[in-house]
Amino acid sequence: MSRRSTKWYRKNEEEVMQRLGLEPTINSGAGFAQKEDGENDHVLCQLKSTDYGSIAVKQKDLDILEQHAMTSHKIPVFALQYINTGEVWIMTKPEYLPELSEYLNTGTIGTSRGFFEENEQKLVDKPEEKSYNKRELRDNINSRNRFLQERQKEREKQEKEYKKRRRKQTWS
């Protein structure tokens, strides 16, 4: 079996998300704002694909998916894809099944989303209700970029000090 490229997996992920009626996230959810692999107004999905006959699912991945879903008030869905057969399976916790079933049958979820309100506090701190505009998001990105630049400068400084110490040791 030949090794598949990252480009192939990203394209495959996009196709699977579209098959599930979800919008693929940019860069597979590795960005600053979007998380997981696909989403829509009601569902947040993580995809794991394999060419082999089995898939290992880590509890940490499920916990992170659930935390991101609770933060955005969406149903967490973990999709498993067996590339060799083209099968896609989805899994979620039993407590999410009523909402997921309603979504699958009607395409929407009713206003009584009691489970999310009951369990939100357990999983994440309840954030203030705040809507972000483009300027605030840009400012957040600029803050992140400044942080990364400062960290890079600190690394360069440490590297210079290390090289200076090494030169002293070699000349001694």
pLDDT in tens, 20-30: 888 888 766 55
Neighbouring C-beta atoms of residue 155, cutoff 10 Å: 10
Q: What is the 8-class DSSP label of residue 27?
A: G
Range 71-93 burial, b when 16+ CB lie within 10 A, else e? beebbbbbbbbbbeeeeeeeebe
CATH architecture of 6-123: 3-Layer(aba) Sandwich (3.40)
pLDDT in tens, 119-136: 555 555 544 545 555 566
Task: Answer with the residue of higher pLDDT: 116 or 143.
Answer: 143
Ranges of each domain in the chain: 6-123, 131-172
Q: Tell me, what's the pLDDT at 138?
A: 64
Strand partners, 171: none
Residue 40 CB burial class (10 angstroms; 0-12, 13-18, ≥19): middle
> Global pTM?
0.60
